[in-house]
Amino acid sequence: MSDPAQQAGGPRKPRIALMGEFSAGKSTLSNLLLGARPLPEKVTATRLSPVWMSYGNQSPYREDVDGTTEPVSLDRLEGIPVEETRFIRLFMEADILDVIDLIDFPGISDPNMDSDVWERVLPEVDAVIWCTHATQAWRQSEAAVWENMPDAVREHSILLITRYDKLTTVNDRRRVFKRVRRETNGQFGGTFPISLLQALEAGDDYDKWDGSGAGPFVDHLIETIQKLADLAARSPEPLYNIANGMGVPEPVVAPVIPRRVQRPLDADKPKRERPPAPPESGTG
């Protein structure tokens, strides 16, 4: 309905929501992924409706809760009526938006904002990157929201333990990571500690980028996007809705055989021993 690619008849792109508590780093993460700042700095400090970002150069607009749309000015986003706005649509020619849409959510337990403001946008999403603040990671309020998320969405979602630079000792870091992994066991496709500020500052410095935690996270994100793109191409319905009972259509393409099991059939040669199983991956 509100997806321009779909309107143009193209396949739908996966939609990834950035969620978490107030100030956990959602907008900083969106700057990092986009390689640019979509909103003027002063605007990011105010309460905003969910901001849905797509590839393109169209002008921004807001969609009202009744479905009507209205152009908006980036300089005046703070004047947008949050309660009556379903989301703000922004368009940028950023590489990542070539493959996914990003939806930057407001903080989940902002006392000045009804949770309905973001809950009503959940049916639009396929997956979530959840930002949890390292120094107060995985609060009850976060666990409570995540508990209600459909399994299929959770499986394709990523937990980022942000502001990891604020934990200064190795012991603290290990302790927080272990606790969060224990408390969220099996509820995310992957969990990664990250300093978003260090990642933003890294530029072309590969060691700094990797040291910030961004390297492993982005590798995992790319894998996730590949899986979601396949789902999105097959279904106009976001995963959140599919998981709520609408059903996933059967794949139309033949399953891809992992490279390590593709071996030319050779009848002359005796069968070889099975190769050893690969080591377990660090995610899950």
Ligand X SMILES: Nc1nc2c(ncn2[C@@H]2O[C@H](COP(=O)(O)OP(=O)(O)OP(=O)(O)O)[C@@H](O)[C@H]2O)c(=O)[nH]1
**Which residues of this chain interact with ligand X, rule CB under 6 A?**
20, 22-28, 44, 106-107, 131, 162-163, 165-166, 195-197
For ligand X, give the closer residue by CB, 110 or 223. 110
CA-atom Rg of the chain in angstroms:
20
Question: What does the alpha-carbon distance between residue 157 and residue 187 come to, in Å, rounded to a whole number?
Answer: 8
Q: Which is nearer to ligand X, 46 or 59 (CB)?
A: 46
Do residues 127 and 228 lie in contact, with contact meaning Cβ atoms separated by under 8 Å? yes
Residue 163: which of ligand X, Mg ion, none does it interact with, CB under 5 to 8 A by kind? ligand X
- Measured CA to CA, the distance from residue 138 to residue 176 in angstroms comes to 10
Q: Which residue is nearest to Mg ion (CB)?
A: 27
**C-beta of residue 97 within 8 angstroms of C-beta of residue 61:** no
The rounded distance, in Å, linking the Cα atoms of 73 and 237 is 30
Q: How far is the CB of 217 from ligand X (least distance, A)?
A: 12
* Nearest residue (CB) to ligand X, 44 versus 235: 44
Q: Pick between residue 91 and residue 130 the one whose CB is nearest to ligand X.
A: 130
Rounded Cα distance between 132 and 189, Å, is: 15
* Residue 26 C-beta: closest distance to Mg ion, Å: 5
Q: How far is the CB of 28 from ligand X (least distance, A)?
A: 3
Q: In the complex with Mg ion, which residue's Cβ is closer, 131 or 239?
A: 131
* Cα–Cα distance, 125 to 102 (Å, whole number): 9
Q: Which does residue 165 touch among ligand X, Mg ion, none (CB within 5 to 8 A, set by kind)?
A: ligand X
Which residues, in sequence order, are CB contacts of 217 under 8 Å at separation 6+?
158, 160, 190, 192, 194
Contacts of 246 by beta carbon, 8 Å cutoff, 6+ apart: 237
- Please, what is the minimum distance in Å from the beta carbon of residue 87 to ligand X? 14
Decide which of Mg ion, ligand X, none touches 24; Cβ closer than 5 to 8 Å per partner kind.
Answer: ligand X
As a dihedral over the C-alpha atoms of residue 196, residue 91, residue 61, residue 103, rounded to 10 degrees, the angle is -40
What residue 197 binds from ligand X, Mg ion, none (CB within 5 to 8 A, per partner kind)?
ligand X
List the single partner that 42 binds among Mg ion, ligand X, none, CB under 5 to 8 Å by kind.
none
Residue 202 identity (one-letter amino acid)? A
Q: What is the smallest separation between the CB atom of 25 and Mg ion, expressed in angstroms?
A: 8
Q: Which of 230, 196, 228 is nearest to 213 (CA)?
A: 196
Nearer to ligand X, 30 or 184 (CB): 30
Q: Residues 6 or more apart from 81 whose CB is under 8 A from it?
A: none
> Which one of Mg ion, ligand X, none is in contact with 88 (Cβ closer than 5 to 8 A by kind)?
none
| Closest approach of ligand X to the CB of residue 193, in Å | 10
Please state, as a whole number, how many other Cβ atoms lie within 10 Å of the Cβ of residue 243: 20
**CB of 136 vs ligand X, minimal distance in Å:** 13
Cβ distance 281 to 223 under 8 Å? Answer: no
Looking at residues 23 to 52 of the shown chain, list those that interact with Mg ion (rule: CB under 5 A). 26-27
Q: Which CB sits closer to Mg ion, 27 or 85? A: 27
Binding site for Mg ion (CB under 5 A): 26-27
